[in-house]
């Protein structure tokens, strides 16, 4: 059957229809799960043509799969990209894209506040292969000028950053990086293509931990890379194929299912987050709230400029440091004490003891990830129930005195 002509559909319509084509064999409306490792050839010439790239088709699921292709087509449409690649995890997407751009002798300029495993990749793994990495606060554009080098091949950033909700100006950094001959990769996990489009702002590639909002239900591990066809074709046939970080057909199918409700979910997530952030900002046990949707956020105007919404990730600094964070985590009830984010239900965690524990404390503090910082992914529950749970868990901190040594640096 022929593919649908999608024309200029709106975002929700693309979520429902992009990449979805009735199965040519059975007419199945939803994309089937092609749970197979390999594909049969009609004859020797058919196989030879496919291996040579002269004929479209499937060879082996590590090289591509129809369920995966449907997901990639949908994600490319949502990101406004020429192409997309689905991978086994967010870290697979990050490592495959970064190592396709930077080689031995090259330099990467990275934002100084990144997801813990991304930071470890940059600090510990890449230098083993002769790739130099400099971490800097890229929210200060002067640092971009200062730390770009003649051999800088990549500027890598998250915005908002994990977990401090610090913002980076994608458009301005892209201009500076391109003038220096470097590419820009943006981790768009927190915002999704529904709220923020880094490619439209000048970035070269976008990566996602699709485990989060793209899947949306906490039941699949996956990653996404989106960008120009030429660059992604190189990734597909080198760092993805040879390192082997491929997505399973079943997980690709789960993401296809989750994406159909992405805007509906994100709207509710964001609506709840605004109310929760306002509640936390007024609470006497909370030192400071980091949420771009609050006017008190120092980059509130930038958030409005480069995104169509503020997302549902909130971080807040407790009075009382590490002990307060630990005590609060042990007293939540509705919220689930768990890492990850973007699930339909509320997840809460303590970065100093969990996601960012691998980061040396000095570096963690320098990036604003203090011992009393709490990160919460706001779900789609009744917001009154979320607030009541947080209020109850904060009430146990009455006897915790603030530790001045752990104050925000």
Please give the full DSSP string across 298-316, using - where no structure is assigned. Answer: TTHHHHHHH-SS--SEEEE
Torsion of CA 191, 196, 199, 203, to 10 degrees: -60
Query: Among 106, 112, 137, 187, which one carries the catalytic annotation?
Result: 187
> Would you state the structure tokens that stand for residue 241, as one six-digit string?
């194929």
- Taking residues 339-368, report their average pLDDT: 87
Cα–Cα distance for residue pair 170/191, rounded to 1 Å: 13
Phi and psi at 347, nearest 5°, equal: -120, 140
Q: What is the mean pLDDT of residues 86-98?
A: 98
Averaged pLDDT for residues 49-53: 92
Report yes or no: 184 and 177 within 8 Å, Cβ to Cβ: yes
Which segments of 192-278 are extended strands (E)?
Answer: 205-209, 223-227
Identify whether 265 is a catalytic site residue.
Answer: no
Residue 113: predicted pLDDT: 87
pLDDT band at 56 (very low <50, low <70, confident <90, very high): very high
Mean pLDDT of the chain: 93
- Please give the domain boundaries of the chain with CATH numbers for all domains: 8-257 (3.40.640.10), 261-394 (3.90.1150.10)
Q: Is 187 a catalytic residue?
A: yes
Percent of the chain with pLDDT over 90: 84
Question: Catalytic pick from 153, 183, 212, 319?
Answer: 212
Full-model pTM: 0.92
CA distance linking residue 234 with residue 82, whole number of Å = 14
Q: Which residue has the higher pLDDT, 180 or 403?
A: 180
Sign of CA dihedral 405, 406, 408, 409: positive
351 in Cβ contact with 375 (< 8 Å): yes
The reply to whether 322 belongs to the active site is: no
Choose the catalytic residue: 49, 62, 147, 257: 62
Question: Tell me, what's the pLDDT at 398?
Answer: 66
239 pLDDT above the threshold of 70: yes
Cα–Cα distance for residue pair 258/260, rounded to 1 Å = 6
Task: Indicate the range of 5-14, 42-51, 61-70, 378-387 predicted with least confidence.
Answer: 5-14
Q: Is 236 a catalytic residue?
A: no
- List Cβ neighbours of 208 (8 Å cut-off, separation of 6 or more): 90, 93, 187, 188, 189, 192, 214, 223, 224
- Give the list of residues 6+ apart from residue 361 with CB closer than 8 angstroms, or none: none
Name the pLDDT band for 404 (thresholds 50, 70, 90). very low
Q: How many whole angstroms separate alpha carbon 346 and alpha carbon 74? A: 27
**pLDDT tier for residue 133 given thresholds of 50, 70 and 90:** very high
pLDDT digits (tens, 9 = 90+) for 290-304: 999 999 999 999 999
């Amino acid at each position: 059957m022929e593919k649908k002509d999608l024309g200029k559909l709106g975002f929700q319509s693309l979520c429902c229809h992009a990449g979805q084509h009735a199965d040519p064999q059975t007419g199945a409306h939803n994309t089937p799960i092609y749970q197979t490792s390999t594909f049969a050839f009609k004859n020797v010439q058919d196989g030879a043509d496919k291996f040579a790239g002269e004929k479209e088709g499937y060879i082996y699921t590590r090289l591509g799969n129809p369920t995966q292709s449907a997901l990639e087509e949908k994600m490319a449409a949502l990101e406004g990209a020429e192409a997309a690649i689905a991978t086994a995890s967010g870290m697979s997407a990050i490592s495959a894209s970064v190592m396709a751009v930077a080689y031995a002798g090259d330099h990467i300029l990275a934002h100084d506040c990144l997801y813990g495993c991304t930071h470890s990749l940059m600090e510990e793994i890449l230098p083993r292969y002769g790739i130099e990495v400099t971490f800097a606060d890229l929210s200060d554009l002067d640092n971009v000028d200062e730390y770009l080098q003649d051999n800088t091949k990549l500027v890598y950033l998250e915005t908002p950053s994990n977990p401090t909700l610090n913002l980076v100006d994608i458009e301005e950094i892209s201009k500076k990086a391109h003038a220096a001959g470097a590419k820009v990769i943006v981790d768009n996990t927190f915002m999704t293509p529904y709220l923020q489009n880094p490619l439209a702002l000048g970035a070269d590639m976008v990566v996602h931990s699709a485990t989060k909002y793209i899947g949306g239900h906490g039941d699949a591990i996956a990653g996404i890379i989106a960008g120009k066809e030429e660059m992604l074709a190189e990734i597909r046939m080198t760092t993805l194929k040879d390192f082997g970080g491929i997505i399973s057909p079943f997980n690709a199918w789960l993401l296809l299912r989750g994406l159909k409700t992405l805007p509906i979910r994100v709207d509710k997530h964001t609506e709840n987050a605004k109310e929760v952030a306002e509640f936390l900002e007024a609470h006497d046990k909370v030192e400071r709230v980091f949420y771009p949707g609050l006017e008190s956020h120092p980059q509130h105007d930038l958030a409005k400029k480069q995104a169509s919404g503020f997302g549902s990730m909130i971080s807040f600094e407790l009075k009382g440091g590490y002990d307060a964070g630990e005590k609060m985590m042990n007293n939540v009830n509705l919220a689930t004490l768990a890492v990850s984010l973007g699930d339909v239900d509320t997840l809460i965690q303590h970065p100093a003891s969990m996601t960012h524990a691998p980061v040396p404390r000095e570096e963690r503090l320098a990036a604003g990830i203090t011992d009393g910082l709490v990160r919460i992914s706001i779900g789609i529950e009744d917001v009154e129930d979320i607030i009541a749970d947080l209020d109850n868990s904060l009430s146990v901190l009455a006897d915790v005195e603030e530790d001045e040594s752990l104050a925000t640096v």
